[in-house]
Structure 1
Amino acid sequence: MSRAIKAQLVKYSRLAHERGLTAAFGGNLSIRKGSLVFIKATGAVMNDMTAEQVAVIDMSGRQVSGVRPSSEYRLHLAIYRSRPDVRAIAHLHPPYSIVSSTLAVGELPIMTPEAEIYLRRIPIAPFRPAGTQELADVVADAILQSDAVIMERHGIVTVGRTLREAFYKAELVEESAKLWYLGRK
């Protein structure tokens, strides 16, 4: 099973880079299976991801694999704890979402029927330093009422029952951000 999970993480990490949803070292994806979380390793580049660059931690944050997890592991764990229905998380750095986080206030307007159906709303969480428990707490709170959150000056987090679902929700957030930004007068 872990081989299939790692293959999914590799596939969607590379796809995120190809679609311009993240660059260089930015972003990370995770999948929860029981009490274990499979997550991109620290220092891994999404475009070059391999199965060996997938870390495994338990729900307390203890490293199970020989590979260290992304510095954003606290963010992923906080969301999994606050949303037991979530089995996968996409944390990406799409450009229009980041720019919109500095211009929109409170929430990003929903721009398409698909975004309304699958996201309902897109709150903007206030800035907190990357990799901190403060960021994890503010995002876990914001995601209680939505499947997507934009983090001010940082990126986005989307959740789903599968990594495929979380990934496509991320695309919907970036599409909404792009349409909103281009439509501003």
Structure 2
Amino acid sequence: MSRIAKRQLVLYSRKAHERGLTAAFGGNLSVRVGELIFIKATGVVMDEMSEEQVSVIDINGNQISGVRPSSEYRLHLEVYKIRPDVRAIAHLHPPYSIVASTLLEEKLPIITPEAELYLGRILIAPFRPAGTEELAKVTAEALRETDAVLMARHGIVTVGKSLREAFYKAELVEESAKLWYLSRNERKNQRLTSPAQVPQEPPR
């Protein structure tokens, strides 16, 4: 089972990088197997990831493997504790989602029927410094009753019963953010380019 978890992490980490959902050293995925958490090791680039670069910790944060976990391991642990139904987490840095988190306050509007079906709501967690216990708590609290959250100025977190589910929910979040942003700009452009209303002279 542990070998399968590591293979999944490598597969979907590389997919995330290939599809523009994260860049450079950003982002991390995890899988829960019993009381063990398999997560990207610290400092690893997702499109170069190998099975040897998967860290293993227990649900209390104790390091089991020889490589240290991502600095965001607290976030993953807090979500698993609040959501016992969750078996995988995707934390990624997709650009449209990050931009949307700087322009919106409470939630990202749902545009497509697919996003409404699979995500329901996309809440926005308030900004907290990366890697901190505070960030872990506010994000996990936002995920208590939803499966997708934008982290203000940081990225997104999606959850699922499998890593495949968590990953494709992350794609849906980024698609939703992109569609919202493009439609917002289109409305703005229409207002700017629409002809000015010329006042009519009153009848003589």
Q: CA RMSD in A?
A: 0.4
> SS where residue 169 of structure 2 aligns?
helix
Deviation for aligned residue 1:145: 1.3
Q: Note the alpha carbon deviations across 1:20-49, whole angstroms, 9 max, x for none.
A: 000000000000000000000000000100
The residue identity in structure 1 corresponding to 2:41 is: A
Rounded Cα–Cα distance in structure 2 between residues aligned with 1:112 and 1:134: 32
Q: Which runs of 5+ in 2 are unaligned?
A: 189-204
What does residue 102 of structure 2 align with?
Answer: 102
> 1:1-185 maps to which residues of 2 (within 5 A)?
1-184=1-184, 185=188
What does residue 193 of structure 2 align with?
Answer: none
> SS where residue 89 of structure 1 aligns?
strand
Deviation for aligned residue 1:51: 0.2
Q: Which runs of 5+ in 1 are unaligned?
A: none
Q: TM-score, normalised by structure 1?
A: 0.99
Structure 1's consecutive aligned runs of 4 or more residues displaced over 4 angstroms after TM superposition are none
Q: Note the alpha carbon deviations across 1:94-149, whole angstroms, 9 max, x for none.
A: 00000000001200001111110111000000100000000000001000111000
Question: Which one has the largest radius of gyration?
Answer: 2
> SS where residue 23 of structure 2 aligns?
coil
Aligned residues: 185
